[in-house]
Each structure stands twice: as C-alpha cells, then as structure tokens.
A and B are shown apart, each in its own frame.
Chain A
C-alpha cells in the first residue's frame, strides 16, 4: 500500500463522508480448525472466545507471560471447529511461532494462510450501498461478523475495519485481489493509502501495534480492558500479570492528547510535559494532525496520577511548548 494516492486529507475525508478502499494484503491470516479449537484459542487470547456464535468475530489480544502484547488481532468463528484470525503484518512470524509451540498433541490444526490471501478494506458510510450495487447476490455479514462464499474461489467477507466507519474487509486469493480492488474503484470507492489509514485510526483512538502496543505494555495500560476477560474459565496466558496490575496499579496509561490551538502536527517521539512546563510525563507513541479537527492529536503513556481526562499538558515541538489537554477517546 502506498502512503497516498491523491492525498492523505482527501482520502481521509472520502472515508469519513463516502467510501474508500485500502489494499491490506500485507495483513496476516491464520486458520484454526479442530474439535479443541475453541478451548485452545481461549487459553491464548484475552477476550472470551466462548461467547462467539457461528459468523461472529471479536477484537482480542495475544499476550506473553508478563501480560505484554505480542499482537492485537480479530478472531472470527466460521463454525465451532473453524476459526479465522487476522493478525498484523509485522507480527505474522512472531504470532505463528508463539501459537504453534503451544499446540496440543491433537484436536487443533493451525495454518498460516497469509501468502494465499490478498485483502482489501472498504470503509465509509457508503460501503454497504456500493457493495449491494456491485455484488447484489453476496450478502455482507453483521457488524464484527464473517461470511464465507465461493465466488470464483474462496471469498471471505468480514464486517470490520480500522477507521471507525461502517465497512468491511474482503479476503480472496492473492491473484484475484487486484481484480476486486479495481472493481471497487470502478464502482466508486476512492483508493486510499497508509497515510489516511493512520489518521483515520488515530482520530478514533485505535492503537497501532509496534507504536502504541508492544511486548512491554499490557492491554490494561493501553486502555483495552474491555477486551480482557480476567474471569473467563480456564484463564489465558498473561492473566496473572494483568490481575496483579489490576490489584497493584498500572505503571502508565495510554491517553489521548489534543493540542488546544493551531500548531504543527504531532509526531511519534515528541515529549509530553506537565502543566508546569518542566516535569517530564512521557513521549508520544502516535501523533498526527487530525484532518477532522484541524488540530494536532496524539497518544502517550503517562503516569496514572497525571492521566485524568481534562489535565493540561504541553507537547514539545522543536524546543517550543504547545499547550494541549488529555481528552476522551475517540478524538472524533
């Protein structure tokens, strides 16, 4: 995926107001099959796999023993003995290595199908209309759901995305995906690049793996406690570390910071200071200019005592201090 086609801002606006399409073929796809699939996945992932019915999906996290995030991913249940996992491109090998080492002797089969699949994400309020006009016979699944079709090969549709807008992700054989991409554009979707993908997700406060999440940060620190079911039967890898954090307190909390006035865009690595203009609080893990707000936005891990919504902070840009505030996610 290129950084941009026509321009980050126009692509961003197309997704917010109409419909855009992203080539996300870099994403990884795993399949898990077998009679023990549910139980095995539930012991590896933070969310509760057992609540899923056929055709449903959930955001979830794969943790190490310290509770650190190996990856954040979406798990879909196709049926009781077949699950589809969409994982981050940069984590395909780490995830597969971690998971395959923990396979039971029988009852579960794990396959990395990343090379077989290409994928596109169609996002924006017009996504469904566009799809209905383009492929009237192929019904999209419900929100967060998955539907599997045969359409000149395997076609998997997932009603998920990374922009905060309605839309879906389409997985098909790698040699078919270019055809789908072209057809979606011919039907009115605006081609969008990595730049808009980043501003769209950041405006919604969605974390980016490798920037906002890594193996030294837990989902509780990242504000993803909703996707962590500490009390599910059987537990999961990393559970004890998270339970201890919940008892003893968090070392940092990922907060959303919005600048208060027109200023340069925020960037990864910029320093965040307390309202006294001197006390170091943390560094931005993500940053940009919100096309929707026209203001700099970013996220940073701050000490919990200084992480309350409404707290005044400064962000340092080229040795100048710019005032901002900790705000509620999403930004937009």
Chain B
C-alpha cells in the first residue's frame, strides 16, 4: 500500500497535495481505490462550488458499489479532472497522479494540520 509522505490524508481515505502549483489537488488513496475495485463512473462537482470540510462533493462508483467522496479540507473548486469521465480507471491505475479528482483553493490552510501524514496514514491502516 502506497501513501506518499508529501500528501495529507483524511480518515475517509482522501488525499490533499498542498505542494501542487496553484491550487491543492485532491484524490482518493491507493488503499481506497483497492477497496473500491474497478472505478467505472464519477460524478464531479461544478467548478466554483464552495466545499466545507467533511462535505460529500463527488460520487465514485465501481462495479461493486457507489461511494461518496468527502472534502478533506474547506475551499473552492477551481478545476475538475474531466478526463476521468472517459477514463475513470485512472483512479485505479494512478491514484496520486492522473487519478486526481479536483483542485481547490484552500480557505483555511491550517486544516491540513488535522490530517494525517503519509506515514501516519500507513500506520492508521496497518
């Protein structure tokens, strides 16, 4: 199970990359994609949507089940990964890269401190 150290992780298995240029990228963890199995459909939020930490903002569907994705931090959606509409499997193949879901500008960067580091997340799962 892969959980890079430069990312922040939520208990509900989303990650935030605050080091990305411009806005912070958000996706789901390698562990989450493995649990979901083959991702076949995504419902993405509208650009401009204001997210409160903990709010469900997208739906991810595998053959097995439908799951909500929760905002790991508060902010505004400035970009969505529209390539996922055609190739949702990118979430399984590259959850920390091509499988990013939205980019958001953080309204309260201090919220990052409440998330887990890669190492803490790995320990959380073990």
Contact = CB atoms under 8 A, between A and B. Distances in A.
Interface of A: 3-4, 7-10, 195, 199, 262-265, 267, 288-289, 291, 318
B12 interface: no
Contact of B64 (A3, A10, A264, A291): A3
Contacts of B64: 3-4, 8, 195
B43 A264 contact: yes
A233 B61 CA distance: 51
Max count, chain A CB within 10 A of own CB: residue among B37, B61, B63: B63
B66 A289 contact: no
Nearest to B86: A262
A288 B61 contact: no
A315 to B, nearest CB: 14
Given A3-B37, A4-B37, A9 B63 contact: yes
B59 interface: yes
B40 interface: yes
Contacts of A318: 43, 59
20 contacts: A3-B64, A4-B64, A7-B37, A7-B92, A8-B38, A8-B63, A9-B38, A9-B40, A9-B63, A10-B38, A195-B63, A195-B64, A199-B63, A262-B41, A263-B41, A264-B43, A265-B61, A267-B66, A289-B40, A289-B41
Contacts of A199: 63
Contacts of B92: 7
Contacts, number: 42
Interface in B63-95: 63-64, 66, 92
A264 B37 CA distance: 15
Contacts of B61: 264-265, 289
A280 B15 CA distance: 41
Contact of A8 (B37, B41, B59, B66): B37
Interface string B43-75: 100000000000000010111101000000000
Interface string B23-37: 000000000000001
B42 to A, nearest CB: 9
Contact of A7 (B38, B43, B59, B66): B38
B8 to A, nearest CB: 28
